[in-house]
């Protein structure tokens, strides 16, 4: 699998994760020309800075959607217009959790754009986290504690069910 990895400043990574930023810019230089022109990647991996390989909260994998050459003016590159490669980093649509099909003991769901639903069983912070795909019957022990997942931007808690009493 041919992957293009781009390290980003936190503000740009966060804007892409929020769906606000849809292109990542790289100056048209021999370095980037060699890496982009005539190549087709399978995926683009965006990182917030230079995280450890297992730090999934600071790493986003997207399908390769190509690039275009354009001219922009941006504070990051100075006051003059510059030629850039505009690499498409648009998020795929976010999956939807159907809680009626969730395992009874699932407490949360991971809804990563471009991926499938992943059920989570999270406890208090520092407790072991468990996960499973919808088609599986067995929970797998996660490598991270529950507290890491409880703060993840794509993790949602099971909705609370409210009972409405008639006549009240």
47-84 pLDDT, tens digit per residue, is 999 998 878 788 988 999 999 999 999 998 999 999 99
Instruction: Tell me the C-alpha distance between 36 and 108, whole Å.
Output: 39
Tell me which of 15-24, 94-103, 157-166 is least confident: 157-166
For residue 42, what are its two tokens? 């399978």
What is the pTM (predicted TM-score) of this model? 0.61
pLDDT score recorded for residue 163: 45
The total of other beta-carbon atoms located within 10 Å of residue 35's CB is 13
User: CA angle, 99 as apex, 97 and 102 as ends, to 5°?
Assistant: 100
Which of residues 88, 116, 136 is at a domain's end? 88
Q: Are residues 80 and 106 in the same domain?
A: no
Residue 161: band (very low, low, confident or very high) from pLDDT cuts 50, 70, 90: low
Q: Tell me whether residue 167 is in a domain.
A: no
Which residues share a beta bridge with 119?
109, 132
For residue 55, the SS3 value is coil
Structural domain range at position 140: 99-157
Q: Are residues 118 and 73 in the same domain?
A: no
């Amino acid at each position: 699998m041919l992957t293009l990895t781009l390290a980003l400043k936190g503000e740009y990574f966060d804007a892409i994760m929020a769906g606000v930023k849809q292109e990542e810019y790289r100056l048209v230089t021999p370095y980037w020309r060699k890496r982009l022109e005539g190549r087709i990647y399978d995926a683009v991996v965006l990182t917030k800075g230079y995280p450890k390989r297992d730090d999934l909260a600071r790493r986003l994998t997207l399908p390769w959607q190509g690039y275009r050459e354009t001219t922009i003016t941006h504070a990051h590159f100075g006051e003059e217009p510059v030629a850039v490669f505009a690499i498409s980093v648009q998020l795929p649509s976010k999956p939807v959790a159907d809680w009626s099909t969730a395992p009874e003991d699932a407490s949360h769901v991971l809804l990563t754009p471009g991926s499938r639903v992943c059920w989570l069983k999270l406890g208090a912070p520092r407790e072991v986290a468990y996960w499973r795909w919808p088609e599986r019957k067995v929970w797998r022990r996660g490598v991270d504690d529950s507290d890491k997942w409880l703060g993840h931007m794509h993790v949602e808690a099971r909705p609370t069910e409210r009972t409405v009493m008639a006549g009240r």
